[in-house]
A and B are shown apart, each in its own frame.
Chain A
Amino acid sequence: MSRYEKLIHDLGPRGFNLRGKLWVGFLLLVILAGIVAYIEQIIEGQVVTNMRDYVLWGVYISNFVFFVATSFVAAIVIAALRLTKNEWRRPFVRLAAIVGFACIVMAGITIIIDMARPDRMMNLFIHARLQSPITWDVIIIPTFMVVSLLLLYFPLIPDLAIMRDHYSKNKPRLSRIYGFFALKWNWAAQQIRLQQKSIQILALMILPLGLILESIDAYLFSTTYRVGWDSSNFAPYFISGAMVAGLGALVSVVYIVRRNKHLQNYITNYHFNKMGKLFNLALIIYLYFNINEYLIPLFTAKKGESEHLESLLIGPYSTLFWVVSFVGLLIPAILTIFKRFRQPRWLFYIAIVVVIGSWWKRYLIVTPTLLHPYVPIQGVPESWRHYFPSLHEWLITSATLAMALLIITLLMRYVPVISIDRLAAEKELAESEHKKAAI
C-alpha cells in the first residue's frame, strides 16, 4: 500500500462495524421516541411539559443555549486558530466544523420545539419586529448555519474529488455521489485560488458571527427584568462559556474518533497537549466570569437578587450548582494546567465531565431565575413552584442530543475526518495533485 493509499484508508470513509451499527440504531431509537413525544406535545399542547406560568422556559431553552454554545467551536478552532496561524489546529479543523454545524442545526430545531405554535412560524418573518432579541436570533442562527456549513464544505471539496477518483473503479455509484459534491474539482490553479479565498473570507466572517450569536443568546435573557438574567456581564459570560462547551465537545468527539479510526499517528499527544492548553485558557476565563456573575454580586445584591443567589449557593439548587462549578469547571481548570492531564485519555475524561457540566450549567442559568419573580408566587398549584423536566421533555431533549450525535456520526462515516488533500500535499506525496498544479 502506498503512503497515499494508506492516507485514504486511514482517513477516508469506512463502513460501520457492528459497534457502529448498534450506535446508529441506538441513536435512531432515541430519536424515534423523541418524535413520538413531540407529536404528542403538538396534539396536547405544552401541557405535557412541566413548564408552567412561572417556569415558563425549561429544559428546551437550556438545551438550546447549550447547542448554541457548542456550535461556537467552529468559530474558535477554524477561524481564531487560522487567523493566528496556529498550525496544530489542522487535525481538529474538520471535526470542529462538523461539531459546530451539527450543533447549530440542532439549536435551530430545539428553539422551534419550544415554540407552542410552530404552525405559525412564518409569522416570525411576516410580522418580524427588529427590536425583539428573538428576531435577532431568527437572523443570526440561519446565517451562522450557512456560514458554518460552507466552512465545512469548501475545504472538503478536494477530498470529495479524491474520494470520487478513488471509488471510480470499484464503486461507480458512490463515486458519482462524491463527484456531484466535488463540483468538477481538478486542482486547477484558479479553483485552488478561489477556494482559498472563499475559505479565508468565511473564516473572517464566522468569528464575528460566532461572537454575535453567543451575545444574542445572552441578550435573550439579559433584556428581561429578571434577577440573575438582567446582567451586563451576560454576553461575555456566554461567550466564554461557549468556548468551554465547544472545546469540551470537540475534544470528546476527537478522542472517540481517534480511538475508533486508530488515528493516533495523525492526532498525536502533541495536538492534544496544545488543545489542552487552549481548553485550560477557556476554563480559566469562564471561571473568572463565574466569579463576576455569582460571587461579586453578593456584596450589593438587592433583596430579590440575594434570594436568587442564596437558592443557588445554599438553597435547593446548591448541590447542582456546586457540582457544576467544582467538578465541571474549577477542577478541570486546575487539572489542565498540568501537562499530565493534557494527555489524550485524561483530557478526554475531563472534557466529557466539562460538557455534561456545561449542559447542566445552562439549566441552572434558566430555571432558578424564573422561580424568583418580583411579585411572590401565589394563587397557583403547588407543583408550579418548582421545576424538573417531564418525561416528554426528557425524551424530546434526548432526541435532539441524539440527532446532533447522529449528524456527527454520519458525516464522519462518509467524509474524511482530516483533510487527505492537505496531508498529501504536506508530505509531498507523488499522488498529490497540488504538486502538479504548482508545476
Chain B
Amino acid sequence: MKDQKKDTRRKFLNQGWKLGLASILGGAALAHLKEGSGLEGTESFGETVELMDTEGNIIEVDATQVEEMASAGQAHEVRRGMPGRKFVMVVDLAKCQNALACQRSCNKHHFVTGDNAWLKVYKMQETEETGPYWMPTLCMHCDKPACVTVCPVDATFKREDGLVLIDNDRCVGCRFCMAACPYSTRVFNWNEPKQEFEMNMEMVAQMHSPEHAGMPSVKGTVDKCDFCPHQAVKGELPHCVTACPNGVFYFGDKNEDTVTNGTETVRLSKLLEDNAGYRLFEEFGTEPNVYYLPHKDRLPFEEGLENYNEFQSVEKPDTAMENPKDS
C-alpha cells in the first residue's frame, strides 16, 4: 500500500515535470510564432491612438495599425542602428559666419532649455598672428567614443550606423561621460527641464526614444546632439543642416560616399581631399565622424561678432523679449 502510494506520487511527479517542460517549450514556440507573423496581427481591439499626420493635423488611428506602420517603415533596433548606414558630417569653416540659425533650430527641435546648447559656435583664434574664425561643434559621434567606454551602465552606446546615443531611462547621472569627452559636447539636466511641447505629454512620451534626444529631457541625465536619426528615418536632413543659411553643414552617408548641405550634393572623399579636411583632436584617436574644412578664403569674420554672446547659447523666452534685436 505504502509502496503503491509512493509509486503514484513518483509517476505524478514524473509526468508533471514533463508536462511543465512541454508547456515551457510550447510557450516559447508560440512566442516565436507571434513574432514571426507580426504583420498578420490585425486583430482589432477597438483602441485608438492619436497621431499627427504630415500636415500637422491630429488624427485618430486604430492602435493595431500603428504597429503595422512602424514595422512597414525602415525597421531597425534603436541600439543597433540603421542597417548599412554610416552617418557622417562635414563642417565647412570657410562658410561659417556665426549666423547661429543652426543653434536656434537645434535648440528648438530638441527642446533645449538649459544654459548650454548642444550645438555651439566657438570664436576661435589659435594665435595672435593667425586669423580668427567661427567653429561650430556638435557631438562628433566618434568611432572610438571615450564617453561610451567609461559609461558604467551602457546608457550611452555606439551604433553600427555610427551614432552615439543616450538612453535617458537608464542613465544614472554619474557624469563620467562628460568628464571623458574631450570635445565638451555633453550637457547635463541639473534640474527638471522646463520644456514646453506643442503636443500633449502622452504623445511626447510615446515618441520618447534615444533617437530623438530632448523629447523629453530627463532630470539628472545627460543630453547631447544625436545627429537627428528621427530626421534620417524620414529621409530628411538634421535640423542644423537645413537651418544654416550658408550651407556650412554637409550631412550624409560614408558608405555612399555622399554628403549634402541641402543645396549641393557632393562626394565625401573628394570634398575632404580637395579641401584638406581634418578632424578635431585627431591625436586623441577618438576617430570622430565630423570632419572640418579649413577656414581658407572664409566669409568675413566680423559680421558674426554681432551674434556672438560669450555667456549665452540658449535663448530664453524672457531674455528674447529684452533683446528686440533677436525677434
- A373 with B184, Cβ < 8 A, contacts A116-B173, A382-B311 known: yes
**Does any Cβ of A come within 8 Å of B310's Cβ?**
yes
Determine how close the nearest CB of chain B comes to the CB of A259; give it in whole angstroms. Answer: 41
A254 to B115, CA, bound (A): 49
- B-chain residues with CB within 8 Å of residue A433 when the two chains form the complex: none
> Bound complex: CA of A328 vs CA of B189, how far in Å?
37
Say yes or no: is A404 at the interface (Cβ < 8 Å to chain B): no
**A123 touching B122 in the complex, CB below 8 Å, given contacts A225-B284, A382-B311:** no
Residue of B nearest to A229 (CB): B179
The residues of B that contact A123 with a CB separation of less than 8 Å are 153, 155, 170, 172
Is B150 a contact of A132 with CB atoms below 8 Å?
yes
| A52 and chain B: residue at smallest CB distance | B190
The A-contacting residues of B in range 296-313, CB under 8 angstroms, are: 309-313
B179-219 residues with Cβ-Cβ distance < 8 A to A are 179-184, 186-192, 219
Query: Is B152 in contact with chain A by the CB < 8 A criterion?
Result: yes
Q: Check B150 against A380 for contact (C-beta < 8 Å).
A: no
Q: Does B102 lie at the interface of the complex (its beta carbon under 8 Å from any beta carbon of A)? A: no
**Which residue among B155, B173, B183 has the maximum number of chain A CB atoms within 10 Å of its CB?**
B173
Q: Is the CB of A47 within 8 A of B190?
A: yes
What string of 1s and 0s marks CB contacts (under 8 Å) between A98-117 and chain B?
Answer: 00000000000000001111
CA distance A117 to B182 in the complex (A): 24
Contacts of B71 in A (CB 8 A): none
Chain A residues with Cβ below 8 Å from B183 are 374-375
B117 at the interface (CB under 8 A from A): yes
Q: How far is the CA of A135 from the CA of B176 in the complex (A)?
A: 12
A138 close to B (CB within 8 Å): yes
Known pairs A223-B150, A381-B311; A374 contacts B182 (CB<8 A):
yes
Q: Which of A53-61, A150-158, A278-286, A421-429 forms contacts with chain B?
A: A53-61
Whether the Cβ atoms of B191 and A45 lie closer than 8 Å is yes
Q: Is the CB of B173 within 8 A of A380?
A: no
Pair B173/A384 contact, Cβ less than 8 Å: no
B191 touches A124 (CB 8 A): no
Known: A379-B116, A380-B313. A225 touches B172 (CB 8 A): no
**B149, B153, B175, B286: which contacts A116 (Cβ < 8 A)?**
B175
For residue A133, which residues in chain B have a CB less than 8 angstroms away from its CB? Answer: 150, 176
> Count of B residues near A, CB < 8 Å?
49
A85 at the interface (CB under 8 A from B): no
Q: Are A375 and B309 in contact (CB under 8 A)?
A: no
- CB closest residue in chain B, given A133: B150
Assembly CA distance A164 to B180 (angstroms):
54
| Contact A129 B179, beta carbon cutoff 8 Å | no
User: How far apart are the CA atoms of A422 and B318 in the complex, in Å?
Assistant: 73
Interface residues on A, range: 35 or more
Tell me if A379 and B150 are in contact (CB < 8 A): no
In the complex, chain A residues 244-289 whose Cβ is within 8 Å of any chain B Cβ: none
CB neighbours of B170 from chain A (8 A):
120, 123, 127
- Tell me the complex Cα distance, A226–B159, Å: 25
Contact A224 B221, beta carbon cutoff 8 Å: no
Q: What's the minimum C-beta distance from A43 to chain B, rounded to whole angstroms? A: 9
B101 within 8 A of A: no
Flag whether B236 is at the interface (Cβ < 8 A).
Answer: no
The answer for the CA separation of A422 and B88 in the assembled complex, in Å, is: 70
B281 contacts A by Cβ under 8 Å: yes
Cα–Cα, bound, A44→B220 (Å): 10
What residues on A are CB-neighbors of B117 within 8 Å? 379
Q: Which residues of A contact B221 (CB under 8 A)?
A: 116-117
Instruction: Name the B residues within 8 Å of A52 (CB-CB).
Output: 115-116, 188, 190
Q: Given the complex, which residues of A lie within 8 Å of B191, measured CB to CB?
A: 44-47
CB-nearest residue of chain A relative to B309?
A379
> Are A224 and B219 CB-contacts (below 8 A) given A47-B191, A378-B122, A378-B310?
no
Q: Report whether B146 and A224 are in contact in the complex, using a CB–CB cutoff of 8 Å.
A: yes
Chain B 105-131 interface residues, beta-carbon cutoff 8 Å to A:
115-117, 120-124
Q: Is A370 an interface residue (CB 8 A)?
A: yes
Bound-state Cα–Cα, A57 to B177, Å = 11
Contact flags (1/0) for B121-151 with A, using CB distance below 8 Å?
1111000000000000100000000100111
Interface pair A45/B189, CB less than 8 Å apart: yes
Q: What 1/0 flags go to B15-51 for Cβ under 8 Å of A?
A: 0000000000000000000000000000000000000
The minimal Cβ–Cβ distance linking B43 to chain A, given in whole angstroms, is 34
Q: Which B residues are CB-close (under 8 A) to A28?
A: none
> With an 8 A cutoff between CB atoms, is B82 at the interface?
no
Are A132 and B149 in contact (CB-based, < 8 A)? yes
How many whole Å from B180's CB to the nearest CB in chain A?
5
A15 at the interface (CB under 8 A from B): no
CA distance A52 to B187 in the complex (A): 9
Question: B284 contacts which chain A residues (CB < 8 A)?
Answer: 225
Q: Given contacts A379-B309, A379-B310, is CB(A117)–CB(B172) below 8 Å?
A: yes
Q: Take A47-B190, A380-B313 as given contacts and tell me if A129 and B180 are in contact as well, using a CB distance cutoff of 8 Å.
A: no
**Chain A interface residues toward B at CB < 8 A:** 44-47, 49, 51-54, 56-57, 114-117, 120-121, 123-124, 126-129, 131-135, 138, 220, 223-226, 370, 373-382, 384
Point out residues on B near A: beta carbons under 8 Å: 115-117, 120-124, 137, 146, 149-155, 170-176, 178-184, 186-192, 219-221, 281, 284, 286, 309-313
A-B contact pairs, 20 of them (CB 8 A): A45-B219, A115-B172, A115-B174, A116-B219, A120-B171, A120-B172, A123-B155, A124-B153, A131-B149, A134-B176, A223-B150, A225-B281, A225-B286, A375-B182, A376-B122, A379-B120, A379-B313, A380-B311, A381-B311, A384-B115
Question: Which 5 pairs from chain A and chain B are nearest by CB?
Answer: A116-B173, A379-B313, A116-B220, A47-B191, A134-B152
